[in-house]
Amino acid sequence: MTNAAPVSPVDRADLRVRIDRALADFLATQRGWLAGVDDALAPVARSITSFVLGGGKRLRPAFAYWGYRGAGGADSEAVVTALAALEFVQASALIHDDLIDRSDTRRGEPAMHRRFAALHDERGWVGDASGFGDAAAILLGDLCLVWSDGLLHGSGLAPDVLARGRPVFDEMRTEVTIGQYLDVLTQATGDMSVERAGQVARYKSAKYTVERPLLLGAALADAPAGVGTAYSTYGLALGEAFQLRDDVLGVFGDPDQTGKPAGDDLREGKRTYLVAAAFEAAGTADRALLTRRLGDPDLDPAGVAALREIITSSGALDRTERRIAGLTDAALATLAGADLADEARQVLAELAVAATRRKY
């Protein structure tokens, strides 16, 4: 790409620092605003700040940024700030997801609904502590989604640049929301098909983790249509591979690495590709056990081990690993043939490896 701006090695090293600084500056302003409304909002400010700044890989802003640079966009603090807004979309999705799944922890800390239930207990307030925690999590997740708009539009980008990115940003947030609904629906109907699991993975995670951030970056850079096509092909394959890796970690992951209890996805009844593949290949007795114990909130370590054995012995784990590898290879092949700035192509290849080769 002849119009690509040069990218220095420093850009790659300090992107996360710049994203975190943009988030911290925005949150400091919001904390001040909340303090001016009522001192009782201090726990809200503290909780969102610690949640957003306390962890996360910053993958979505990274994909968006390097998608922007790969399409010829020039670096600026306004661009980094705008793309940091993706972290508030992610925070909203995680807070709501933990509530829906009744998860106790996130990133090794209490999930948001648990934090506010504990606050209710500590303060000795009246009413149901769990109900208060649930209500707080819904509202804080909504607030993060509102703040994603605030950070994007207050980034300093020119109005015409923001107008190019807005449709992508809105479609991404719609997709992750309907993907979450499809996930809930799949658990309610008990659908164990590989096809449904793939659809949920695409809309709940794959598209908003990789494809849409890339397309947001491309839109801000006013990229030609061919770049967007390449980003979609690369992003959908890689995003699905990323979600499949998360699914494997949700069953076999080390709690010290995942920040969640071992086998939590099994207790939550997640109908993932991994589980669907096991159900498809397992014998009658193993299918019955999988159906009976999947989604059991009281599943103990022995129960987790039994379901893991079914997943492994059925060949589902190997099948999932092969699919991750195939999708990643397809994404990298698309990237290799795309008309992008060379260093951005290299970084996007490195991100693909980092996103899919996490171990358990």
Q: What is the rounded CA–CA span in Å between residue 51 and residue 269?
A: 25
Instruction: Give the CA distances from residue 189 to residues 184, 186, 282, in Å, rounded to whole numbers and listed in that order.
Output: 9, 5, 20
Annotate 48-66 with b (16+ C-beta within 10 A) or e (fewer).
Answer: bbebbeeebebbbbbbbbb
Look at residue 1 and tell me whether its pLDDT is greater than 50.
no
Amino acid (one-letter) located at 53: L
- List of domains in the chain: 9-356 (1.10.600.10)
Average pLDDT over residues 22-29: 98
DSSP structural state of residue 106: E
Strand partners, 110: 105
Q: What is the rounded CA–CA span in Å between residue 327 and residue 209?
A: 15
Look at residue 328 and tell me whether its pLDDT is greater than 90.
yes
pLDDT band at 4 (very low <50, low <70, confident <90, very high): very low
Can you give the pLDDT at residue 263? 84
User: Could you tell me which residues come within 8 angstroms of residue 100 by beta carbon, excluding any fewer than 6 positions away?
Assistant: 180, 184
What are the pLDDT digits (tens) for 242-292?
A: 999 999 998 998 887 777 777 888 998 889 999 999 999 999 999 999 999
Look at residue 239 and tell me whether its pLDDT is greater than 80.
yes
Other C-beta atoms closer than 10 Å to the C-beta of 16 total 14
What are the pLDDT digits (tens) for 65-100?
A: 999 999 999 999 999 999 999 999 999 999 999 999
pLDDT band at 216 (very low <50, low <70, confident <90, very high): very high
Residue 106 dihedral angles phi and psi, to the nearest 5°: -150, 125
